[in-house]
């Protein structure tokens, strides 16, 4: 499962959901150390097919990817309201498929907003696509920016999870332990 120890290597798949284009990027590393690009791609479905067929195809493709790259966790972009309802619906459907595919394989899933990802990668939650692509290129020591933008966005999600996910996991574990101690103390008080 997801490594939370300080200095532990972790492999994360970042998924930039989309019904027509779905970016997937795999990064390996640990917070504070140079990261390694494992793989990156953009999955596609045909816009002329019905939605159900496209979702099944997307689930198959994401599942094959997860089975092949064997990540420790998955980071998916949190869907937010956009002006175009059709676009947000397709994005939300693709995100749900990604979450289901990861969960089916027992992988922890984290959701990150675009501004969280931008802040993690560039230091600015309002950074533009070009800034994100430039930082992903620099952080992964690539010769050129990943294209299309969906690929760079997926890698940015994975980078964000490597850098922030360990802290989030440790915090969640601490909260869980504290709740368990509180429950045990209540049991001891009653007896």
The span from the CA of 96 to the CA of 104, in Å, is 12
Domains assigned to the chain:
10-190 (3.30.420.10)
**32 SS3 class:** coil
Buried b / exposed e along 78-98 (16+ C-beta atoms within 10 A): bbeeeeeeeeeebbebbbebb
One of 28, 39, 67, 150 is an active-site residue; which one?
150
150 included as an active-site residue: yes
Annotated active-site residue in 28, 72, 77, 153:
77
The answer to whether residue 16 is catalytic is yes
Candidate list 16, 28, 72, 153, residue with the active-site label = 16
Question: Cα–Cα distance between 23 and 158 in angstroms, integer?
Answer: 11
Strands 73-77 and 36-44: unpaired
pTM: 0.83
- What is the pLDDT tens value at each position of the chain, 191 positions in all? 344 445 689 999 999 999 999 999 999 999 889 999 999 999 999 999 999 999 999 999 999 999 999 999 999 999 876 677 778 898 999 999 999 999 999 999 999 999 999 999 999 999 999 999 999 999 999 999 999 999 999 999 999 999 987 544 444 444 455 566 676 766 666 66
């Amino acid at each position: 499962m997801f490594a939370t120890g300080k200095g532990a290597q972790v492999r994360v798949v970042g998924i930039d959901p989309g019904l027509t284009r779905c970016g997937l990027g795999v990064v390996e590393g640990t917070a504070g150390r140079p990261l390694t690009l494992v793989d990156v791609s953009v999955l596609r479905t045909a816009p002329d097919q019905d939605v159900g067929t496209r979702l099944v195809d997307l689930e198959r493709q994401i599942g094959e990817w997860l089975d092949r790259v064997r990540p420790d966790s998955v980071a998916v972009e949190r869907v937010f309201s956009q002006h175009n309802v059709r676009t947000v619906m397709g994005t939300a459907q693709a995100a749900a498929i990604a979450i289901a595919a990861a969960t089916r394989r027992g992988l922890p899933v984290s959701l990150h907003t675009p501004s969280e990802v931008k802040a993690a990668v560039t230091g600015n939650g309002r950074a533009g696509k070009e800034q994100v692509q430039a930082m992903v290129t620099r952080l992964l020591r690539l010769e050129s920016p990943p294209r299309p933008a969906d690929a760079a966005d997926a890698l940015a999600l994975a980078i964000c999870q490597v850098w922030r996910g360990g802290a989030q996991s440790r915090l969640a574990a601490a909260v869980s332990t504290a709740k368990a101690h509180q429950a045990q103390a209540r049991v001891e008080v009653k007896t």
